[in-house]
C-alpha cells in the first residue's frame, strides 16, 4: 500500500557520484554486508537451536502492547510509517483502481505511470512532475491522528525515531523535528540544483513560489533544473538512512509499523534489524511483512509472524491507522490528550492558513491597484 506521499526505490542505476557523496555507496555496501552476516547468523542459530528469544508481551494483542508500554520497560520506540498514515489527510494512494495516483496520470501523456518519478525522464521532461506537485504540495493537508500519536510518543520521551517512507512533510507539521525523523524517501522540505557542479540548496518557500507560479524551477546560479529532495527511481536513499538504522534498531524495545505494505526495499528489511526479543506491532488495513515460509525455515528475513504456533512477539491490529492509534491511546489512558492535541493543532493550522490567504489577497490587490494606476499616470504625462 503506497501513496502519493510515499516513493519506493528501485534498483539503482550506475551514476558517477561526487567525491563528497561516496559515503552513500560505502554505506549501502556495509548494509548489504550486514544483511549477509545476519543471514549466516540466523541460519546457524536456527540450525543449532541456539539463541531462544525472550517473550516480552503477556499477550499478542493491542492490550498486550499497551501493558508493555505502561510497564516502564519500553523507552526506545521506533515507528516505521508509510502511505496509510496520510490517506486520511486526503492524499491519494498510488495504486487503488480508479482513485489511485497512477490511474489518473493520463493527462500528462507519460510513457508509463512510474515515469513521473523517474530521474532520467524528469531531467528531460520536468513539466509533468511539477504539475502533479502543484496538486499534492505540502501545506495543503493537515496531519492525521496517527501523526499526532507519534508526536505524543515524542512528548512522553518514548520515541527514539520515526522512519518514514512519505514525502508529504506531515510528520514535521505535526511537530517532529529533524533529529526525530528519517525521511527514507526524501522530502519536499529542501530542494537542490540537479547539476553536480552546483548543487545549490533551496528551501520550501522558494520551491513553492516557483511551482505555484507555473514556472519550472531553475537554479539562480547556473540555470539548471532544481528538484525537491525526494528520492526518485534511479537515485540513492539518503546516507543518514543507512547510518541511523545501525544505531537505532539494535536499541529498539518496541517497533510500531503503520500504513505500509512492507514491500519496498531496503525500507521493508528494517523490521528484521531489531533484536529477536523486540515486540513488533503492525497497524494496517491488512497483514504485511510476513516471513516467506521457505526463508522462515532458514531463520532469515526477520519477517513478521502473526499466526503460527511459534509466534511470540508480533501483533497485527487490522484497522485504519487513525483508528488503531486511537485504540492504543485509549488503552494507555492517552485518548483524551490525543484528541485535544489534534483539535488544537488543526485549529492552529486553519488559523495560520486564513492569515496567509488574507495576506496573499492583500498583496494581489495591491499589485492590481499598482498596475491599473500606471496607465493613468502615463495619460496625465
Question: Residue 260, annotated ligand binder?
Answer: yes
As given in the structure block, the three cell numbers for residue 305 are 509472524
Question: Residue 104, annotated ligand binder?
Answer: no
- HSE, CB side, 13 Å, CA atoms: give it for residue 110: 23
Would residue 185 show up in a list of annotated catalytic residues for this protein? yes
- CB-CB contact of 207 with 139 (8 Å): no
Question: Residue 197, annotated ligand binder?
Answer: no
Question: Residue 135, annotated ligand binder?
Answer: no
d(CA 196, CA 202): 15
List all residues 6 or more positions away from 201 whose beta carbon is below 8 Å from its beta carbon: 190, 191, 192
Catalytic residue, candidates 125, 147, 185, 317: 185
Cis amide bond preceding 32, omega within 30: no
β-pair partners for 163: 80, 182
Question: Residue 86, annotated ligand binder?
Answer: yes
Question: Residue 347, annotated ligand binder?
Answer: no
Q: Which residue stretches of 235-334 are H helix? A: 239-248, 293-297, 321-332
Distances (CA, A) of 321 to 192, 326, 336: 33, 9, 17
Question: Residue 168, annotated ligand binder?
Answer: yes
Question: Residue 256, annotated ligand binder?
Answer: no
In angstroms, how far is the first alpha carbon of the chain from the final one? 66
Question: Residue 253, annotated ligand binder?
Answer: no
Question: Residue 284, annotated ligand binder?
Answer: yes
Question: Residue 95, annotated ligand binder?
Answer: yes
d(CA 302, CA 74): 21
List all residues 6 or more positions away from 23 whose beta carbon is below 8 Å from its beta carbon: 239
Question: Residue 180, annotated ligand binder?
Answer: no
Question: Residue 286, annotated ligand binder?
Answer: yes
Catalytic residues, by residue number, are 185
Known binding-site positions: 83-87, 93-95, 165-168, 193, 198, 219, 222, 260-261, 284-286, 321
Known binding-site positions for NAD(+): 83-87, 93-95, 165-168, 260-261, 284-286, 321
Amino acid at each position: 500500500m503506497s501513496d502519493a506521499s510515499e516513493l519506493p526505490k528501485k534498483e539503482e542505476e550506475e551514476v558517477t557520484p561526487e567525491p563528497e557523496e561516496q559515503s552513500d555507496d560505502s554505506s549501502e555496501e556495509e548494509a548489504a554486508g550486514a544483511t549477509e552476516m545476519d543471514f549466516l547468523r540466523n541460519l546457524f542459530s536456527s540450525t543449532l537451536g541456539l539463541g531462544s528469544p525472550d517473550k516480552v508481551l503477556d499477550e499478542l494483542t493491542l492490550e498486550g502492547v499497551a501493558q508493555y508500554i505502561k510497564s516502564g520497560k519500553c523507552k526506545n520506540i521506533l515507528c516505521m510509517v508509510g502511505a496509510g498514515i496520510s490517506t486520511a489527510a486526503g492524499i491519494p494512494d498510488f495504486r487503488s483502481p480508479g482513485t489511485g495516483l497512477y490511474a489518473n496520470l493520463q493527462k500528462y501523456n507519460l510513457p508509463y505511470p512510474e515515469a513521473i518519478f523517474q530521474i532520467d525522464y524528469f531531467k528531460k521532461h520536468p513539466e509533468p512532475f511539477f504539475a502533479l506537485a502543484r496538486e499534492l504540495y505540502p501545506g495543503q493537508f493537515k496531519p492525521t491522528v496517527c501523526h499526532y500519536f507519534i508526536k505524543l510518543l515524542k512528548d512522553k520521551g518514548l520515541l527514539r525515531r520515526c522512519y518514514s517512507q512519505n514525502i508529504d512533510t506531515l510528520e514535521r507539521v505535526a511537530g517532529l523535528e529533524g533529529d526525530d525523523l528519517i525521511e527514507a524517501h526524501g522530502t519536499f522540505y529542501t530542494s537542490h540544483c540537479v547539476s553536480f557542479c552546483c548543487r545549490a540548496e533551496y528551501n520550501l518557500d522558494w520551491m513553492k513560489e516557483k511551482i505555484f507560479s507555473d514556472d519550472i524551477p531553475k537554479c539562480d546560479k547556473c540555470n539548471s533544473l532544481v528538484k525537491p529532495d525526494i528520492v526518485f527511481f534511479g537515485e540513492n536513499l539518503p546516507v543518514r538512512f543507512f547510518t541511523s538504522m545501525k544505531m537505532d534498531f539494535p536499541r529498539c524495545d518496541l517497533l510500531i509499523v503503520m500504513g505500509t505494505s512492507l514491500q519496498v526495499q531496503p525500507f521493508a528489511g528494517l523490521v528484521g534489524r531489531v533484536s529477536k526479543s523486540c515486540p513488533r506491532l503492525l497497524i494496517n488495513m491488512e497483514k504485511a511483512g510476513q516471513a516467506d515460509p521457505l526463508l522462515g525455515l532458514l531463520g532469515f528475513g526477520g519477517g513478521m509472524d502473526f499466526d503460527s504456533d511459534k509466534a511470540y512477539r508480533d501483533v497485527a491490529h487490522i484497522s485504519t491507522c487513525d483508528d488503531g492509534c486511537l485504540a492504543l491511546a485509549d488503552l494507555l489512558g492517552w485518548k483524551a490528550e490525543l484528541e485535544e492535541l489534534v483539535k488544537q493543532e488543526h485549529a492552529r493550522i486553519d488559523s495560520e492558513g486564513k492569515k496567509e490567504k488574507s495576506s496573499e489577497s492583500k498583496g494581489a490587490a495591491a499589485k492590481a491597484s499598482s498596475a491599473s494606476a500606471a496607465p493613468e499616470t502615463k495619460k496625465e504625462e
